[in-house]
Amino acid sequence: MKDDSKQGLLDMTVTSVWQTKQGKPKTLADELGAFEEFGKETIVLHNQIADLSVPVFINEFWTSGQRQANKLHEISYRACFKPQLPKFFIDRLTKPGDIVYDPFMGRGTTLIEAALLGRVPMGCDVNPLSSVLTAPRLRIPEIEDVETRLNSLELDGPIETREDLLAFYHPNVLTQLSNLRQYFIDRRAAQANDSIDDWIQMVATNRLTGHSPGFFSVYTMPPNQAVSVESQIKINEKRNQTPPERDIIAITLKKSRALMKEVDSTQRESLSQLATQSKLLASSCDDTPEIADDSVSLVVTSPPFLQIVAYELDNWLRGWFNGINPDDVHLWQIQKPAAWQARMTDVFRELRRVLKPEGHIAFEVGEVNHGKIKLEDLVIPAGRDAGLEVRLVVINDQDFTKTSNCWGVSNQTKGTNTNRIVLLRKSA
């Protein structure tokens, strides 16, 4: 028997392929519809939400097969998107010197990519760890200065240590890390820390735990999260392992060189100049008076989803090393879709305030409850309630095939190889 529902959608899909090949695309929608950079035609659907029909563009708009992002991005953080995502929108919707803002900046992907492209980066995150991971990559010291500073530190002196952390570290390594931690705390308290200190702190934070000799710890979970002490003890027992001695200076220098590998002197100077204009806020992004009205050209961000990722558990060890009290970090943990939508409406109102007229928001969303909830169904009404125009939805599908995915776009439900971005705009 013929499946009329599928055939109807297939007819809509085929007839919706964008017809702009005869001339140069004039809008982002035109470009998305005519996009064929990776040899595939865009599929265009329409998502009916309330009384609004939103065009949905599906293609492989950026891919792991294209030129890899700058190595300066290679700082681990859970649930972060690839730099190719913000680059796609920054290239098309801004010009050099414009402000690009991420209100949920995480590891700073949007900010670093914006700065590398000559835009002024601004970011906000309620977790102060985000600034620790982002700011040093805007003010990059010379590797020789990093090496000199590391070799000048007294890391083997007597100091009180957390004995439970011996589940992760060799006693000598724990002593050195504890001394390094106290050095950073003292330097910040005296307001004496400089770009070299901040860089070392960022790199050391990124090397605290992992699953290879390139980290300070014994084998543990991937580097974007830290298991509990109890879980690490079980891992050690299961693997019959004890924490080995590591050379934390050599590891820090090796990672520093890797991060700096593709940054030349011209870029280093450009990033430093842009950093003087940037703002990195450790606050709630629905109230950011530090950012002027009508100043931001583009927002690219991914919000916290419906209590999917427990960042405070993942980052407890990073928090300890950086002197961050988890009780002082009030991360959003929203379980109900209606409450999440209401909170996003507040965020969008604030984003509308800081956006320039005709400024855009590229809001990356996901799915929760095994695909039963698509967050764009909550984001689009929230954006409209905040006074923003809903322009379109972009679905970047890296396993895109026209015949298998055009009806349901199967990867969307898995959340593995797709990005879903709602594009909104502030009217003129």
Cβ atoms 196, 145 nearer than 8 A: yes
CATH code, domain with 297: 3.40.50.150
The model's pLDDT over 39-76, given as tens digits with 9 standing for 90+, comes to: 889 999 988 877 888 999 999 998 765 567 899 999 98
Q: Assess if residue 186 is contained within a domain.
A: yes
* Phi, psi dihedral angles at 23 (to 5 degrees): -140, 170
Whether pLDDT at 309 is above 60: no
Q: Which token pair is 212? A: 């290879």
pLDDT for the residue numbered 327: 72
Cβ atoms 300, 103 nearer than 8 A: no
Helix pair angle (248-260, 195-206), 10° resolution: 100
Whether pLDDT at 193 is above 80: yes
The total number of structural domains that make up the chain: 2
Q: In terms of domains, do 401 and 306 share one?
A: yes
Q: Assess if residue 396 is contained within a domain.
A: yes
More confident residue, 100 or 336: 100
Q: In terms of domains, do 17 and 107 share one?
A: yes
The model's pLDDT over 250-270, given as tens digits with 9 standing for 90+, comes to: 999 999 999 999 999 999 999
Average pLDDT, the chain: 86
Q: Which amino acid is at 61?
A: F
Q: In terms of domains, do 238 and 335 share one?
A: no
3-state SS class at 288: coil
Q: In terms of domains, do 312 and 379 share one?
A: yes
Q: Which one, of 79, 367, 75, lies nearest residue 206 by Cα?
A: 75
The model's pLDDT over 12-33, given as tens digits with 9 standing for 90+, comes to: 333 344 444 445 557 899 999 9
Structural domain boundaries enclosing 249: 143-260
Q: Assess if residue 269 is contained within a domain.
A: no
Percent of the chain with pLDDT over 90: 69
Q: In terms of domains, do 229 and 148 share one?
A: yes
Cβ atoms 196, 141 nearer than 8 A: yes
The model's pLDDT over 354-401, given as tens digits with 9 standing for 90+, comes to: 999 999 999 998 655 555 677 888 899 999 999 999 999 999 986 654
Whether pLDDT at 405 is above 50: no
Q: In terms of domains, do 29 and 166 share one?
A: no
Q: Assess if residue 135 is contained within a domain.
A: no
CB burial of residue 272 (10 Å; 0-12, 13-18, 19+): middle
Q: What angle do CA 383, 389, 395 make, to 5 degrees?
A: 75
Mean pLDDT of 102-119: 96
Q: In terms of domains, do 220 and 284 share one?
A: no
Whether pLDDT at 319 is above 70: yes
